[in-house]
């Protein structure tokens, strides 16, 4: 199984490792820092052995990387993995900002249901079924989330079940949440949080989350 070093150290931007599988344009690695789309968090951008990664896909507990057909990499070959740190850091800041808002919405609105979540490098979004506009809650949600951010508390990411590759993040005294994403070390790294409403249809509410 590919060892996912993006969990143990999400701040790593370069890694030397070995190719374990080559299946045409698809390769797999012994260890990786290159995150594949999962839990709503978009994948990283970067290179393996100098070749741009065209796609990264989770397959059970494995990650398969799609390279160009001329990659020429062989099993056992030593390669350098590099990720676009600016993109990854934006994804981590927005991911944790969205986690804060989600947890606060669950606590504030009884019976609210999350129907979607996506973390891109420019914004995150959370979709809910709810019969009315959520805008009246925004100043309260923003203030509560910003208060947690400004505490600059430690975010503890850990395995809940290593065999199943299940992870959690925890801010002591606030929450412990199942999530397999890549997380910041401290809440203060989120920065300033901003919310925007987007009505995506009858009885559905979208909260767009931005960080500055």
Could you tell me the smallest distance in angstroms from the CB atom of residue 35 to Zn ion?
A: 12
Per CB under 5 A, 181 contacts Zn ion: yes
On whether the CB atoms of residues 183 and 175 are closer than 8 A, the answer is no
For residue 32, give the 3-state DSSP assignment. strand
- Paired residues of 127 in beta bridges: 116, 206
Residue 79, SS3?
strand
> Least distance in Å: CB of 190 to Zn ion?
13
Q: Which is nearer to Zn ion, 149 or 179 (CB)?
A: 179
In the bound state, the residue with its beta carbon closest to Zn ion is: 179
18-57 positions binding Zn ion, by CB under 5 A: 39
Let me know how many helices (H) and strands (E) the chain has, helices first: 3, 16
Whether 104 contacts 128, CB under 8 Å:
no
Rounded to a whole number of angstroms, the minimum distance from the CB of residue 95 to Zn ion is 6
Q: Min. distance of Cβ 61 from Zn ion in angstroms?
A: 18
> Cα separation of 192 and 93, whole Å?
10
Nearest to Zn ion of 39, 188 (CB atom): 39
Place of tokens 């968090």: 41
CA distances from 207 to 69, 131, 192 (A): 40, 14, 16
Per-position x/- string for 111-130, each x denoting binding to Zn ion as judged by CB under 5 A, each - no binding: --------------------
- The minimum distance between CB 107 and Zn ion, in angstroms, equals 17
Q: Per CB under 5 A, which region of 9-17, 26-34, 131-139, 174-182 contacts Zn ion?
A: 174-182
Candidate segments 6-14, 47-55, 60-68, 176-184, binder of Zn ion by CB under 5 A: 176-184
According to DSSP, residue 89 is labeled H
Phi, psi of 147 (to 5 degrees): -65, -40
Report, in Å, the least distance between residue 84 CB and Zn ion: 20
d(CA 141, CA 136): 10
Beta bridge partners of 26: 23, 66
Q: Give the residues lining the site for Zn ion (CB under 5 A).
A: 39, 179, 181
């Amino acid at each position: 199984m590919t060892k996912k070093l993006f969990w143990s150290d999400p701040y790593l931007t370069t890694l030397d490792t070995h190719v374990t599988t080559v299946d045409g344009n698809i390769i797999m690695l012994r260890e990786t820092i290159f995150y594949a789309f999962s839990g709503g968090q978009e994948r990283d951008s970067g290179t393996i052995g100098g070749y741009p990664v065209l796609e990264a896909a989770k397959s059970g507990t494995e990650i398969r990387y799609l390279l160009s057909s001329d990659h020429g990499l062989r099993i056992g070959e030593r390669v350098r993995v590099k990720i676009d740190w600016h993109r990854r850091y934006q994804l981590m800041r927005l991911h944790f900002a969205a986690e804060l808002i989600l947890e606060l919405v669950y606590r504030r609105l009884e019976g609210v249901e999350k129907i979607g979540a996506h973390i891109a490098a420019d914004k995150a979004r959370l979709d809910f079924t709810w019969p009315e506009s959520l805008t009246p809650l925004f100043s309260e949600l923003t203030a509560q989330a910003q208060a947690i951010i400004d505490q600059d508390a430690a975010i503890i990411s850990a395995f809940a079940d290593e065999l199943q590759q299940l992870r959690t993040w925890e801010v002591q005294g606030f929450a412990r949440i199942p999530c397999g994403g890549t997380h910041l070390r401290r809440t203060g790294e989120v920065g300033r949080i901003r919310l925007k409403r987007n009505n995506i249809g009858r009885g559905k509410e979208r909260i767009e989350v931005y960080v500055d």
